[in-house]
Amino acid sequence: MTATSEQFTVLTDGSSTSARGFKAGALAAGIKPSGRPDLGIWASDVECVAIGTFTQNAFAAAPVLLSRERLANPRAQAVVFNAGNANACTGDGGLEVAREMSRLAASHLGIAPELVLVASTGIIGVPLPVENVREWLPKLEITPEGGHAAAQAIMTTDTRIKECAVSLDIGGREVRIGAMTKGVGMIYPNMATMLAFIGTDAALEPAFAKSALKRVVDRTFNMITVDGDTSTNDSCFLLANGLSGAPTLTSDHPDAERFARGLEVVCTDLARKMAADGEGASKLLEVEVTGAASEADARKAARAVVGSSLLKAAIYGADPNWGRVFAAVGNSGVRVDPGKAALWIGSVQVARDGVSTGVAKDVASAEMKGNEVRMHVDLGLGSGSARAWGCDLTEGYVVENSAYST
């Protein structure tokens, strides 16, 4: 979906601290061997309605277990986070480390530990050096301008920071949504993790916040694929502090839908940024599926296409190998009538009624030369539609993930 300018304003230089009352800060605590910033806090001046969505991985990391437990009560005020170590596959000791991180941040901020969530990303299976957190956390300053520094400190192999903020009108008040994410990158070659922090000064009723976040995450972050490996640490946090003074949004409020769409604008922007910055990636791939028997089928098919290693390699080489697209859809388990499927690469239709349109290869290839490649599959069956984002598969991905670094 795209925002019309009447509905949303995308803020210049937006960050996770764009909404009123949000502060952040980060420093280098020596958890990353590179000596780069790796420890941070993102916090609201006041307690927030807080919702989280987390990895489905059965080996969920200690910070995920702790944050999930805390959000049984949808209230929080801050997230303490680190890069360089995922605190995953670390057993009961790891859970105690996550708890200690939240206590240290709470006492630094002067709030209750129950209001502090934790997020970690980095190597798996290695104890997190909590002594570094003990030493450095008390020195950490948070400011309203600290969003960019925080976005820097959650990076692993990301090549650029990923932030976005919009402002919109709710009941005559300006409401802002500001967010940062880190993408599917590796650190100290080990694990891909997605972290997302979304702060808004809207006032949200928890049930609405939860349903809006779930819907938006399903349509944005859950539609990106870099390598098909889901992290043990994926976490997405939405904190709403109400400081805009706008009325509290419930599901049946007339502005509820507009807020949800604003949230989707932010998350779509960040999802695209993450896919484009996938490890080793040189191109962003956007796949739209229409005409599916259901929306669930459309989502499944779109994700299967962006996840196909063969297609990803073809994208890299600008090879308009459209059979790979149909093969991926055909494998995804969705309803298909081979005689009805159509495919466009960019604006060129390469298949109709399941067979080639006979378009020349170089014409189709030309649509794949830029740094964004769009494909559109129409299944000709129903009204289900979805979009998914991925990237090409390059030698860079292999090099980045195979180097043995000790």
Catalytic residues: 193
CA pair distance 275, 284, nearest whole angstrom: 6
Sign for the CA dihedral angle at 299, 318, 392, 37 comes to negative
One of 33, 138, 338, 370 touching a copy of itself (CB under 8 A): 338
**DSSP per residue, 146-209:** THHHHHHHT-SS-SS-EEEEEEEEETTEEEEEEEEEEEEE-SSS---EEEEEEEE-S-B-HHHH
**Counting contacts by CB under 8 A, is residue 395 touching a copy of itself?**
yes
Considering only 123, 165, 195, 373, the residue that binds a copy of itself (CB under 8 A) is 123
Question: What is the Cα–Cα distance from 298 to 334, expressed in whole angstroms?
Answer: 8
Contacting residue, 60, 140, 263, 275, with a copy of itself by CB under 8 A: 60
Of positions 89, 348, 359, 366, contacts a copy of itself by CB under 8 A: 89
Q: Which of these segments, 136-144, 194-202, 289-297, 348-356, binds a copy of itself (CB under 8 A)?
A: 348-356
* Minimum gap (Å) between residue 172 Cβ and a copy of itself: 46
Among 324, 381, 384, 386, binds a copy of itself (CB under 8 A): 324
Selection from 191, 174, 235, 222 nearest residue 386 by Cα: 222
In the three-class reduction of DSSP (H, G, I as helix; E, B as strand; rest coil), residue 300 is classed as: helix
Q: Does 394 bind a copy of itself (CB under 8 A)?
A: yes
- Is 228 a binding residue for a copy of itself by CB under 8 A? The answer is yes
Counting Cβ atoms within 10 Å, is residue 288 exposed (0-12), middle (13-18) or buried (19+)? middle
Give me the 92-111 binding string for a copy of itself, x by CB under 8 A, dash otherwise: -x------------------
For residues 360, 363, 368, 374, the Cα torsion angle rounded to the nearest 10 degrees is -90
**Is the distance from CB of 100 to CB of 130 less than 8 angstroms?**
yes
Q: How far is the CB of 271 from a copy of itself (least distance, A)?
A: 19
Whole-angstrom Cα distance, residue 390 to residue 275?
Answer: 5
* Stretch binding a copy of itself (CB under 8 A), from 73-81, 198-206, 216-224, 225-233: 225-233
Residue 144 engages a copy of itself in binding (rule: CB under 8 A): no
Size of interface with a copy of itself, in residues (CB under 8 A): 75
State the pairing for strand pair 162-170/173-185: antiparallel
CB of 55 to a copy of itself, least distance (A): 8
**Binding test (CB under 8 A) with a copy of itself, winner from 134, 160, 215, 361:** 361
Q: In the complex, what is the shortest distance from the CB of residue 133 to a copy of itself, in angstroms, rounded to a whole number?
A: 20
- Nearest to a copy of itself of 15, 90 (CB atom): 90
User: What's at 98, amino acid-wise?
Assistant: A
Choose, by CB under 8 A, the member of 48, 97, 192, 377 that binds a copy of itself: 192
